[in-house]
Structure 1
Amino acid sequence: MPAARTSARGSGARASAVKGAKIAQVSWREPRPAPIVLVSGPEEVLAERAIAGVREYLRAEDPGLEVSDIRADDYEAGTLFAVTSPSLFGEARLVRVSGVEKCSDAFLQEALKYIENPQEGATVVLRHSSGMRGKKLLDGIRAGTGGGIEIACAAVKRDSDRVDFAAGEFKAARKRIQPSALRSLVSAFADDLTELAAACQQLIGDVAGDITDDVVAKYYGGRVEVSAFVVADTAIAGRYGEALVALRHALASGADPVPMVAAFAMKLRTMARVAGNREPSRQLAQRLGMKDWQVDRARRDLAGWNERSLSMAIQATARADAEVKGAARDPIFALERMVTVIATREPFAPSR
C-alpha cells in the first residue's frame, strides 16, 4: 500500500529545486498526491512519468478514482470547480490540467481562486513546461497556498544526466546492467530521451538476466555510437579495459581521432584548472568563467588523481594530439597509448 498521503515529505522529496519555493520538492521517480501537484519543467518524459505515478498512487488507494482532463489554453469557465466538486459516492478525484504555460485568462483567474480553497478529496495536477505565463499561479503554489508540492522535470541535456536517467530505470526495476552496456545504450539514443526510456523498458521487459554488452549490441547494435566523451570519461575514471573497448567501439563506428583527442584535452584542462582549489563551486565557477556543474564534475573526475598523474596525462594527450594530426604513421596506436596512460595513470608500457 502507498504511504499515507498526509506526509509532507515522502521518500521522493529532496531539497527545493526552485529558488524561493516553500513547498516540498518531490522526485519524479517517487511522485505522490497532494491537493495541488505542480509538475514543472520542459522534460516531457519525466513529466509523463510523474503524472502517471500520481494516478497509480491514487488508484491504488481508491480503484473508483475519477479522472478528468482539462486544457488550460482552451478552458470553459467553471470547469475546474465542476470536476473537483465531491461526487455522489465520494470517490477520489484526479484532475489533470495541461498547457498551464499558455493558459487562458479565465483559467488563471479560477485557478488562483481554487488554490485558496482546494476541494477535499481532489488532486489537481498542473502541468507547466516553461515560460512566464501563469507565473502568478506558480508563485502562489510555491509560496504554499493550497498545500501543494512540486515535481520539477528539468531538461536532460548532458551525457552524465542521460546515464543517470538510464541507470535509474534499471535500478528501479531491480535489473543489473553492465556499466559499458549502459554507456553504449545511452550513446545509441543520445538525442532522444523518449526513445532511450523506451529502450530501457524494452530491455527490462524482454531480457531475463543481466543486461550485457552483447544484449545491447543485439537489440540496438545498429544505433550504438560511442562518443569521444564516453571514452574520455571511462579512461579518466580509471577503467582501463572498458576504456579500450569503448575506444575501439567508437573507432569502429567512424569516430575521428582528432576530435577524440580534443575531448580528452578539454576534460583534462578543466580538471587542471579546478585541481587544488577549495572555493565553493559557484564562486570558483564565476572566477574561472565556468558553470557550477562543470566545476562539480571536474572535482568528481579528480578523485584518485594527483599532480604527477595529471601532468603525465596532459603530456600524453599533447603527444597524441600531434601524432593524430600527422606526426606519426599510426593514429590508432597513438590513441591507445594515450588511453592507457590516462586510464592506468602510469607511463606507457608496450607490453600491456
Structure 2
Amino acid sequence: MAPAPRRRASPAAKSAIPQMSWRNPQPAPIVLVSGPEEVCAERAIAGIRDYLRAEDPSLEVSDVRADDYAAGTLLSVTSPSLFGEPRLVRVSGVEKCSDSFLAEALSYLAGPQDGATVILRHTGSSVRGKKLLDAIRAGQGGGAEVACAAIKRDSDRFDFASGEFQQAQRRIAPTALRTLVSAFADDVTELAGACQQLLSDVDGDITDAVVERYYGGRVETSAFTVADTAIAGRYGEALVALRHALASGADPVPLVAAIASKLRTMARVAGHRESSSAIAARLGLKDWQVDRARRDLAGWNEESLGRAIQTAAQADVDVKGGSRDPVFALERLVTVIATRAPYGA
C-alpha cells in the first residue's frame, strides 16, 4: 500500500489570539511564528528581540531546538535568574518536535514564567506539534501569532519589496520597483537582500537608473561565478569570468559587493564546529549558506581570508570613486582571492 501523502499543518485562519504583522511584532508570553516564508519569520523573530533589548539591554537570549530537545530545558531557560533579567527563548523546529518537548511545552502554557518571552517557530511543513499550536491558538498561555505565508505570486513579491522601502520611509520609482522584483522573481531572500543593499548604498530616491545599475541583467549571476572560481583558487577561470562579466556590461560596484558578501559569510562561519543548522540559527543564515561557506573555506586560513576581506574593502572604495581604474581594482581583488597571496607576490 502506498504511504499516505504528507499533510501540512492547518493555517491560522481560526486563531482566537492576536495576529501580528511580521514587520511590526511585539512580545507576548508565547509568540507563535508560523508559516513557510523564512525571510518573514527571521524578521519577526529579530524584531521581537530588538524590541525587548531596547526595553532592557540585559535581555538574556536562549536558543532551543524542539527536535533535539533535552528534558527540562524549557523550564530552565525561562526561569528567573538571580537578578531577574528578562528572558527571550527562541525555539526552532517545532514542526518536527520531540515528544518530550511537546509535553513540556503544553505544560508550560498553563503557567508561563513572568518576564519570559517564548518564540515558537513552526514552518507548517508537517502536522507535528498541531496539538500545541491548537492550544496556543485557543488562547492558552496568553499568546500571539505572526503568520508568515509563502510569497509566491508576483503581486506578493511586489508588495513585499514595496514594504521594504515604505518601512524605511524611502521612495522608489514604480518602474524601478517592477524591475527589481523581476530581477529576483525566484528567491525572496535575494530580493530582500537587494532591497536592503539599495537602502544602505543609495542616498535619496531609488530611480530606474539606480536599479538598472545594480541589478540590470541580474549581474549577480556573473558576480557569483567570478567569486566562486576565485575562491576555489581557479585563477585563470576567475579572470576570464571577470572579463566576460565586464564585457557584458556588469557594473564593478555590485560585482565587488557580491564577492565581498561571500567572503564575509566565510569569515562568519570559519572556526565554528556546531551543526550547520545551529550555526545558521545563531548567525541568521540558511543551512545551505553555512554548508557552502564550509566548502569554500577549504584551503583557506585566517591570514589569507583576512587579506582577501581587506582587499575587498579597498576594492569597494576604489570602484565607488576612490580610484581612476576600477577594473584594475577588480583584477587585483580576484588575484588576491584566487592566489591567496598578497598582490604581486
Name the aligned partner's letter for residue 102 of structure 1. K
User: What secondary structure, in the 3-state scheme, does the structure 2 residue paired with 1:88 have?
Assistant: coil
CA distance in 1, matches of 2:55, 2:16: 27
Give the alignment of 1:164-203 within 5 angstroms: 164-203=159-198
Q: 1:163-189: CA deviations, max 9, x gaps?
A: 000000000001100000000000000
What does 1:270-281 correspond to in 2, within 5 Å?
Answer: none
| Divergent runs of 4+, >6 A | none
Secondary structure, counterpart of 1:191 in structure 2: coil
Q: Name the CA distance, whole Å, in 1 between partners of 2:109 and 2:153.
A: 36
Q: How does 1:1-352 map to 2 (within 5 A)?
A: 18-130=12-124, 131-223=126-218
* SS of residue in 1 equivalent to 2:107: helix
* Structure 1 residue 18 displacement after superposition: 2.2
CA distance in 1, matches of 2:91, 2:181: 32
Following the alignment from structure 1 to structure 2, what is the Cα–Cα distance between the partners of residues 21 and 38? 11
The superposition leaves residues 290-318 of structure 1 with CA deviations (integer Å, 9 ceiling, x where unpaired) of xxxxxxxxxxxxxxxxxxxxxxxxxxxxx
CA deviation profile, 1:92-141 (whole Å, cap 9, x unmatched): 00000000000000000000000111000000000000120000000000
Q: Which runs of 5+ in 2 are unaligned?
A: 1-10, 220-345
- SS state of the match for residue 217, structure 1? helix
CA distance in structure 2 between the aligned counterparts of 1:137 and 1:18, rounded to whole angstroms: 13
Counterpart in 1 of 2:309?
none
1:72 maps to amino acid: A
Amino acid at match of 2:149: A
2:181 is paired with a residue whose SS is helix
2-side partners of 1:77 and 1:210: how far apart? 53
**SS of the residue aligned with 2:191?**
helix
TM-score, scaled to structure 1? 0.58
Amino acid at match of 2:103: Q
Counterpart AA for 1:92: P
C-alpha displacement of 1:190: 0.3
**Residue identity matched to 1:63:** P
| TM-score (ref. length: structure 2) | 0.60
**C-alpha deviation, 1:223, in angstroms:** 1.6
Gaps of 5+ in 1: 1-16, 225-352
Deviation at 1:19, TM superposition (A): 2.6
| Aligned partner letter, 1:67 | V
RMSD: 0.9
